Amino acid sequence: MSKRTLCALPIAMAVAMLAGPSAAQAPENVLQSLIDKHQSQYLTQSPQNLMMMPDNPAYDLIEDGDKLFRQARGPKNASLEKCDFGKGPGMVAGAYVEMPRYFADTGKVMDLESRLVHCMKTLQGFTDEDAAVKTRHGSSSDMMKLQTYIASQSNGMAWNPSTNHPMEKAMRNAGEVLFFRRSGTMDFNCATCHTQDGKRIRASVLPNLRAPHEWTKAISWPAQRVSHDNVRSSQHRVLECVWQMRYPNIKPGSDASIALISYWTDAARGQPAILPDLKR
């Protein structure tokens, strides 16, 4: 081995250690490592779901998403290979765990979904009315295939959203206020359900934001939602929570949703992402 390679080794190892368990570890092994390391009713509530993970239907979406990503599409007949998710054009490895993040070209903090929509519109020429952009939910949607593929390239890596830019700090801090903001018919805020260990709504154990080893699984979307028979996104989860909390409809890619996702990603900082996950 050359001297240069030898010198690079400690750095590479340090980077790998920072990233947590090997990125090559399957999602179910990432989850099992967390289960082995911590006592958590949330993480262990469904041995059946853990057993299903090697056959996660989300894997089909990864394959399709990978193809879609490289396919020339839309009025501009371009692929998404020049889309910058924060680590340079086309760089998807490790990009998702650093989002939401600030993008200078739009002047906004963006989550994966809104950044993807931005690239589909600017690089490929799609508009808000085209199905490719408009349809955000469902395993058969382009959106979910692309998101599931891109997110899977961060499996096993530590959540590490940037908070260097003032906008990133602002959105994360506003997201924290929103997390604790009670309103609506039932006086709910996110904290009502997500700030204690081992609590249940009916039979389901809830993840605790204050237990990062639980929260990493909680925010690991896209995930196959078994009871929906569909792979769901982070934005879909926000929408479902908003619905249950008796708040009005929240728009996909809205700044309020991105602020919340900024806060909830920061809360899982350092923990390995499980992508794609499988949930009830």
| Residue ranges that bind another protein, judged by CB under 8 A | 106-108, 118, 121-122, 166-167, 169-171, 173-174, 176-189, 191-193, 195-196, 198-203, 206, 239, 242-244, 246-251, 254-257, 259
Tell me, yes or no, if 241 is annotated catalytic: yes
Q: What single DSSP character describes residue 227?
A: G
As a whole number of angstroms, the distance between CA 273 and CA 224 comes to: 15
Least distance (Å) between residue 7 CB and another protein: 40
CB nearer to another protein: give 48 or 183. 183
CB nearer to another protein: give 63 or 240. 240
- Strand 108-110, strand 200-201: pairing: unpaired
As a whole number of angstroms, the distance between CA 253 and CA 251 comes to: 6
Least distance (Å) between residue 267 CB and another protein: 13
CB nearer to another protein: give 21 or 197. 197
Angstrom CA distances, 138 to 48, 230, 256, 277, stand at: 23, 6, 23, 16
Backbone angles phi, psi at 180, to 5 degrees: -100, 10
Angstrom CA distances, 78 to 69, 87, 91, stand at: 10, 20, 16
As a whole number of angstroms, the distance between CA 196 and CA 211 comes to: 9
CB nearer to another protein: give 13 or 177. 177
Q: Which of 125, 126, 123 is nearest to 134 (CA)?
A: 126
Least distance (Å) between residue 100 CB and another protein: 13
CB nearer to another protein: give 52 or 167. 167
3 state SS of 267: coil
Least distance (Å) between residue 118 CB and another protein: 8
**Hey, how many other C-beta atoms are within 10 angstroms of the C-beta on 11?**
9
Q: Which of 141, 154, 42 is nearest to 101 (CA)?
A: 154
Cα radius of gyration rounded to whole Å, the chain:
19
Catalytic residue among 83, 119, 193, 241: 241
Least distance (Å) between residue 259 CB and another protein: 6
Active site residues: 241
